[in-house]
Structure 1
Amino acid sequence: MARVCQITGKRPQVGNNVSHSNNKTKRRFLPNLQKKRFYIPEENKWVTLKVSTSAIRTINKNGISSVLKKAVENGYLVY
């Protein structure tokens, strides 16, 4: 599976490693993704999602149902 958050759509970003002598080489900044199970009480089932830690905080704040609905609207999640 790709390194993409299923809720926010965060992806790896590209940047440079900069050495002491100011040499620049390409590198990737990876999102902090976690595999996490969430319980959806309306459907009485568990769902496993690959989400960033900021998405976990959003789910805790707003609730899994509203966050899933918004992710489907934005096209990040096929549910």
Structure 2
Amino acid sequence: MPKAATAPPSSPASYEAALQELEALVGQMESGQMPLDGLLAAYRRGAELLQFCRGRLDAVEEQIRVLDQQGQIRPWGQE
């Protein structure tokens, strides 16, 4: 019997959701209980989640630059 096609994972709803899923994947992979095919799929999903998180962080950083009147990011707590 052929395997049913699985739908590709959806994009995370938020940075926090992506980070939580990524942490869960890392935990599963580190457990040593995942079969080789599962490890490969988890690695691929982890790479997608990491790319999503980096994209969100880059977008927020760009918004901070735009909001900063001087065009420079100042360290937190500096006025």
TM-score by structure 2 length? 0.28
**Greater C-alpha radius of gyration:** 2
Q: Which has the higher strand share?
A: 1
TM-score by structure 1 length? 0.28
